[in-house]
Structure 1
Amino acid sequence: MKILHTSDWHLGQHFMGKSRRDEHKAFIDWLLALVDEASIDAVIIAGDVFDTGAPPSYAREMYHQLVLDMKARQCQLVIVAGNHDSVSMLNESKSLLTYLDTQVSSQANLEDIDAHVIPLNNKEGDVAAWVCAVPYLRPKDVMQSVAGQSEQDKKMSLLQMIGDFYQQVYDAACEKNKRLKAPVPIIGTGHLTAVGGQVSESVRDLYVGTLEALPTNVFPAFDYLALGHIHRAQPISKSGRFRYSGSPIPLSFDELGRDKSLVIFDTDLIGEDTFVDDLFAELKDPVQLVSIPNFQPMASLKGNLKEVIKQISALELPQDKNLWLEVTVIADDYLSDVHKRLLEVIDGKPIELLRVMRRSGLEKKNQDFEARKTLSELTVEDVFQQSLKSNLELDEEESKVLTELFQTCLVELEEYQQEGEEKQS
């Protein structure tokens, strides 16, 4: 059977004041056409279906219409929650959606591990794969705090608990496999940061407790692992079968320049790489990447003011849509009329100037942190790290401890806000 893996749709997102509604609608229409064309049997969305815990009504309508469209195509749908998704909101229609061949895994359930093992059926109605549907794991869902634990002890304890949870779900799938006439592939899911994943500006730093990233050896021997959270499509294993699908549309300007894609995993091709009848036959990879069209023209330009103006003149402009533009002006002197001059340059052109940033030309080329001139352009982490650097009395160890405490506070604040959004919804 063919399983399509996608993630991080962020339905309802507003990008610098611009709605992504039309882009998401175009993407879903394209996706449904792909399901028909490629004869997809099941679709897995690995978290962050929505951008907030209380998405706008049109985003919910898109979500429910997707379920109906998949049911009409006899295509099974598996949705796991991400850190942006509201557990209570997903649970509202969870039971009803099961009658429409859509399974939703919104929260880790230690009391019912079997609930995380979802069968995928082929056209004949037989089980052709198992999905270990593991959503975003909140620390409170998988472990209890122990008084007196050091930060390192908490990290190791949480890592152990996450690994144990994955193993329990995988073992449950293996047990179900034994009851079949022949074993079928086992697919895993996850919404987290794994070691080796390259993040982008739009990815909210996701710390599972105080763990910055999970090592790949935490995961059992899945035949395929469908990951979400990182918006750049990429594998995290040599075989390419543990991978992030990436977001279907650019969610920040620094995601430009890389093709957006989704993954089609063909379970019928598993094992062809271990036993081949014809030694001269070309091996078919069970993992196929499918490029997603660009539904909204965007561009990011960088240089001094004269260079940027020249680059704007050379842009290929769309005929039917406005191009969203980000500009970084490199100059040592403060130019008070930069924004005004840029607006004059784009006047009459199908261009919307969404962001203008300034950067000093004296910065070191290899400097990781790009200095922003306004507080609104800084992340919370940027401000904290800059504060640490400016405090000369702190040594390296003290800075490390403060960073870990800060990350813990961010996690607790995010959970508190999430609970507030869930109560409101």
Structure 2
Amino acid sequence: MKILHTSDWHLGQHFMGKSRREEHKAFIEWLLTVVERESIEAVIIAGDVFDTGSPPSYAREIYHQLVLEMRARECQLVVIAGNHDSVSMLNESKSLLAYLDVQVISQADLTDLDSHVVPLKDRQGNEAAWLCAVPYLRPKDMMQSQSGQSEQDKKEGLLQQIKDFYLSLYQRATQRNADRKKQLPIIGTGHLTAFGSQLSESVRDLYVGTLDTLPTSVFPPFDYLALGHIHRPQAIGNNGCFRYSGSPIALSFDELGRDKSVVILDTELLSTAMLSKDSNVMTDLFAEQEEPVVLKPIPCFQPMVSLQGDLQSLLSQIEGLSCEEGKTIWLEVSVLADEYLSDLHKQLLQAVEGKPIELLRVMRRRTQGETSMAFIERQTLSELSVEEVFDRSVTASLDLKDEEKTALSQLFQQCLEDVNEHTEGHGKAQEEAVE
């Protein structure tokens, strides 16, 4: 059986005022082609299906159409909730989708562990793997704080609860193997930040309570761990079987330069590898070895370019840009300049005029010789993000303790997410009214 692992679709996202609707539609069309060509029998979406808790109607339409397309291809679909996904919104259609062979895991339920152990079946209806389906873990679903606990006690208690939750699910899957007297692969999921993973600009700090990163020691020895939240595709650990699939499209400019991909897992090859490992059977060193985990590169559906240099260099680089016919480049430029250039934006707009280029962001960066403090003092408010303004304000408050700064940052991030959701919801409502 072949299983496809993907995550962080962020359906409904608006990127610097631009809709990703056409990109997402193109990605799903490509995905369905892969499902057919590679004979994929199960797809796991490891969180952040949607960009906000109240996605626009077209994003929900894409989601529900995907369900129908998967059903038509006899491909099982498992949807794991991420931190961007609304539990209540996913639950609206959960029961109905179950009739279409779609399992939606919207939140952790410690009182019903069996609901988190999902059998993955081939087209003949035979169980081929067990999925320990763990969504984004909200602290209220994991444990209750006790009065008198120190911050460190809360962290250690929550970490232990998460570890126990994963272990309990793994033990249940192991017991099912024992009951059936058949060793099927056990696959885990997670939507979190694991220690050692590489973030990108579009990934928000993700806290589970006061935990910002989780060590890999919290995970039992899954045969494969399908992770979400980090947008850069990457493996954690040495064997390559604990992996972030990454987002299917670039959600920020700093994700450019690295291929986007989905992960295809072959349970038969994985089972063979498990047996060889357990029995210490020598394999033929000269035989061509097939890997149980393969990355499938995703085409780029929207050209995006990030340029850096002094103004004259940038003007020259823009002149040399070319694009596929019918496409438009989304451009970010970082100008290396110590002084504020009053006509910078005007010159850049003149450079892209008449070309299939949209200038989405202009930033100014200091040159190597400029001291950091002097450069910061000359930055204008328009050059800073909301997060940078807040961070500098908090840093300037020297009377705050580290734990107070952390708590303020978490509260601010939540407020910012609420404001963004409200603003996006209002803007998307207007967009849908126009449609």
In the superposition, the TM-score normalised over structure 2's length comes to 0.90
> What is the letter of the counterpart of residue 287 of structure 1?
V
The secondary structure found in structure 1 opposite 2:359 is strand
For 1:211 and 1:228, the matched residues in 2 are separated by 17
Distance 1:310 1:127, change over 3 A: same
User: Which deviations, in whole Å up to 9, do the C-alpha atoms of 1:47-98 show, x marking residues without a partner?
Assistant: 0000000000000010001001001001100000000000001000001111
The structure 1 residue matched to 2:296, chosen from 277, 280, 290, is: 290
Alpha-carbon distance in 2 for matches of 1:170, 1:194 = 19
Q: How far 1:317 moved relative to its partner?
A: 2.0
Q: Unaligned regions of 5+ residues in structure 1, if any?
A: none
Do structure 1's residue 81 and structure 2's residue 81 form an aligned pair?
A: yes
1:355 maps to what in 2? 361
1:376–1:332 distance in 2 versus 1, CA, 3 Å: closer
One-letter amino acid of the structure 2 residue matched with residue 175 of structure 1: Q
Specify the SS of the correspondent of 1:319: coil
Matches within 5 A, 1:213-232: 213-232=213-232
- 1:409 and 2:393 are equivalent in the alignment: no
Equivalent residue number for residue 381 of structure 2: 374
Q: Deviations over 1:315-357 (max 9, x none)?
A: 1223111100011111112111111111111110000001111
Tell me the SS of whatever aligns to 1:35.
Answer: helix
Partner of 2:287: 281
For residues 221-300 of structure 1, what are the structure 2 equivalents within 5 Å?
221-270=221-270, 271-272=272-273, 274=277, 275-300=281-306
CA 1:317 to 1:420, structure 2 compared with 1: closer, same or farther past 3 Å? closer
**Bigger shift: residues 88-97 or 311-320:** 311-320
Superposition map of 1:186-201 within 5 A: 186-201=186-201
Deviations along 1:193-236, whole A, 9 cap, x unmatched? 00011000000110111111000010011100000000000001
Distance across 2 between alignment mates of 1:151 and 1:26: 46
Q: Offset at 1:277?
A: 4.8
Instruction: Tell me the secondary structure at the aligned position of residue 333 of structure 2.
Output: strand
What is the percent sequence identity of the aligned residues? 62
Q: Name the SS for the 1:49 alignment partner.
A: coil
Residue correspondences, number: 416
Q: Partner of 2:103 in structure 1?
A: 103
| 1:358 positional shift | 1.5
State the shift of 1:411 in Å: 6.8
Residue 87 of structure 1 contacts residue 107 of structure 1 at CA under 8 Å; is this kept in 2? yes
Quote the Cα distance in structure 1 between the aligned partners of 2:145 and 2:419: 20
> Match of 1:112?
112
Q: Give the counterpart letter for 1:405 in structure 2.
A: A
Q: Structure 2 vs 1, CA of residues 411 and 385 (structure 1 numbering), >3 Å: closer, same or farther?
A: closer
Using the TM superposition, give the Cα deviation of residue 364 of structure 1 relative to its aligned residue in structure 2, in angstroms.
5.8
Secondary structure of 1:29's aligned partner: helix
1:309 to 301, 305, 315: 315
Once residues 129 and 370 of structure 1 are traced to their aligned partners in structure 2, the CA distance between those partners, rounded to angstroms, is 57
**Separation of aligned partners in 2, 1:373 and 1:264:** 47
2:330 equivalent to 1:324: yes
CA contact (8 A) 1:151 1:404 kept: no
Structure 1, 66-75 or 330-339: larger mean CA deviation = 330-339
Distance 2:330 2:116 in 1: 41
Deviations 1:355-382 (Å, cap 9, x if unpaired)? 11112224469xxx999643574242x3
- Aligned mates of 2:143, 2:378 — CA distance in 1: 39
Q: Is the 8 A contact 1:200 1:232 kept in 2?
A: yes
Offset from partner CA, 1:159-194 (integer Å, 9 cap, x none): 111111111111121122222131200110000000
CA contact (8 A) 1:233 1:245 kept: yes
- Unaligned 5+ runs, structure 2: 430-435
State the partner residue of 1:128.
128
Q: Please, which moves more after superposition, 171-180 or 24-33?
A: 171-180
TM-score by length of 1: 0.92
RMSD: 2.5
116-125 or 84-93, larger mean C-alpha shift: 116-125
2:258 match: secondary structure: coil
User: Is contact 1:45-1:80 (8 Å) kept?
Assistant: yes
